[in-house]
Amino acid sequence: MSIATLIDSLGECYASGTQLRDAEFRSRLASHVAALARLSGSELVSRAPALSESLQLFRRLLNRDQEALLDNALEWTDADREFAQWAANTTWRWCAVAATASEAAAGNEAAPALVSATLCAAGDSVKWHAIAAIARPNGLLARASRVLCLAEEFGIAETDVPVEADGTTVSRTAPQLYSRALLLGFLASGNLTRQQVEIADAWITRWARDYALSRTPPASGTSLWVDVTKGHGLRAGERAEMGDLRYLVLEALPRQLMTVERGFHAGRIFPGTGVSTKLRIEEHIVVLDHLHRLVEQLRAKAPTRRAERTLVEGATVEAFVGVHEIVERAMYAPPTVRAPRALEATLVDAGGPKGEALTNLQQVELPRRWMGLADVSEGGLGLVAQRGEHEDICVGDLIAIADGGALAVGEVMRRAPQGTTGSLIGVQVRSRSARPVRLTRLASAEGRGGRDLGGVFVPGPDACGRGDAIVVSEGAYDPRAKYQLAFEECVFVIALNRVRRQGRGWISCGYEVLEQQHREAA
């Protein structure tokens, strides 16, 4: 299979609007890339211009399909997952092909383009492995590091080369492209959703020109380090005593974050163009906060852990994901030998304060989620999802764990692949004494009818209730409405007010008690 045939195929696909999500075209393209991988380095170098052109065409096609894949933060179908995994694997194969050509390109005028192609594909593969939530190949960053060293050896490290970047063309040097791959790998280690990974990549791609990759440790400033002789990525904190080290100096990062914030205040979303600007503003805010925490971490040099983890072996817990599942399952699920008895709550009739047992309501059959418990700390816990199971759980999800007769509720902060066995899901626990509740939205004078909806009561740390919150689904939140809520002997009329935290499909908000009544005797 010739590279000319590959270019023609990619060009026809781009001109006709054919999408890479077409399984037949993906299969044909994978065959083309596999054929390239069988060529020797010298054969690839002899076709260097066409090879570089075909890779940039492929990246342009992939960028065009990203918007459809990322425009829904909640829906993630099997077809979406299959496409993301294909993109991750294919960009890695492209990286390996371009790296083979780069290693044979000493003294060739095509060397800068081949080096840039390798490092572009490496950064793309880091991104797509994070989007697909699968482990990166061990050799990915090692191959990128080797090609950077070759660029330095060939004397072309500071040569600007035009490359595709989020639907536009920019000029970048080899260290800048390498920095993009490294920094994205450091940030997207399971802490970001697929939308947030795309946003982080868009920002880093624009900002990389302002970062220095130095052989000497900086006297001051914000920096990370990497040993280019090894396959690992960027590291923070104490550096290795031996090895061929490079220091990524992020002195410009705080200023860049301020630029993003000023743009938000003026109604602009950085960088102004590309797929990332079409994603929800909430996703951008999460990335902004994540980068602010990175700056604080690096300035603190060696932050201490807040709590020690206790490893747990062989424990299995039942988990509930999302407000709907927590309410329907944690309220109604009958006790089993594997899970503690669910907490009892009551529902208030829309017509008055008369209580009604939740157990009398029609139950909704939902699948049970049993997960391994890896470790527990004061503020969190680690869950194990076996490969192929619980793939719908993502960073930002609300999750509850049946915990010794109570309900521990928290937010998924990290989902990291654990080799080929599955994923480790890190949960930050907000409360270990939460309880599912039913709210009744009261009919209003504006014509909005009454409605029952589920929620999760999350008590705050103090006894006075100032930190108490109610979590509802994003679509159910209405700050103008009044709700009835029953707790023990009392019925409250409340209004949901200030949003305290927002995640994937849920909102945690404070509430104001407008009226209090005693429950009528049964």
Do 279 and 338 belong together in one domain?
Answer: no
404: tokens are 């010794």
Q: At how many degrees (to 10) do helices 194-207 and 111-132 cross? A: 150
Q: Are residues 277 and 318 in the same domain?
A: no
Q: Report yes or no on 212 lying in a domain.
A: yes
pTM: 0.80
User: Could you tell me if 30 and 112 lie in one domain?
Assistant: yes
Q: Bigger pLDDT: 464 or 408?
A: 408
- Regarding predicted confidence, which is higher, 351 or 379? 379
226 φψ region: left (φ > 0), alpha (ψ -120 to 50), beta (else): beta
**Residues 348 and 216 occupy one common structural domain:** no
Same domain, 258 and 375: no
CA–CA distance, 324 with 321 (Å, rounded to integer): 8
What pLDDT digit, counting tens, does each position of 68-106 carry?
Answer: 888 876 778 888 889 999 999 999 999 999 999 999 998
Domain match, 332 and 244 both: no
Q: Which two tokens stand for residue 271?
A: 């960088």
Residue-level pLDDT at 345: 34
Per the structure, how many domains does the chain have?
A: 2
| Residues 104 and 71 both lie in one domain | yes
Q: CA 352 to CA 466: how far, in whole Å? A: 27
Are 346 and 199 part of one and the same domain? no
Average pLDDT over residues 121-139: 93
Per-residue pLDDT, 61: 86
Q: Residue 365's pLDDT is what?
A: 54
Strands (E), 3-128: none
pLDDT (tens digit, 9 = 90+) per residue, 283-323? 999 999 999 999 998 888 655 455 566 767 678 888 999 99
pLDDT band at residue 40 using 50, 70 and 90 as cut-offs: very high
The model's pLDDT over 245-279, given as tens digits with 9 standing for 90+, comes to 999 999 999 999 999 999 999 999 999 989 999 99
> What's at 358, amino acid-wise?
L
pLDDT tens digits along 10-37 = 777 767 666 787 888 888 888 888 888 9
Mean pLDDT to the nearest integer, 351-374: 55
- The pLDDT score that the predictor gives to residue 425 is 93
- C-alpha separations of 284 from 203, 250, 296, 491 in Å: 10, 20, 19, 39
pLDDT at 520: 64
Mean pLDDT of 443-457: 80
Domain that holds residue 129: 3-300
| Shared-domain flag, residues 452 and 477 | yes
pLDDT on residue 118: 96
In-domain check, residue 305: no
Q: Do residues 351 and 270 share a domain?
A: no
Do 37 and 68 lie in a common domain?
yes
- The alpha carbon dihedral of 467, 473, 479, 483 has a sign of negative
Q: Can you give the pLDDT at residue 421?
A: 76
Q: Give the amino acid at 481.
A: A
Query: Of the residues 251, 269, 300, which one is the last residue of a structural domain?
Result: 300
Percent of the chain with pLDDT over 90: 43
Regarding whether 332 and 218 lie in a shared domain, the answer is no
C-alpha 124: how far from chain center: 15
Q: How much is the average pLDDT of 361-370?
A: 61
Dist CA 366 CA 388 (whole Å): 18
For 466-505, what is each residue's pLDDT tens digit?
Answer: 889 999 998 888 888 889 988 777 888 999 988 999 888 8
Specify if 184 maps to a domain.
Answer: yes
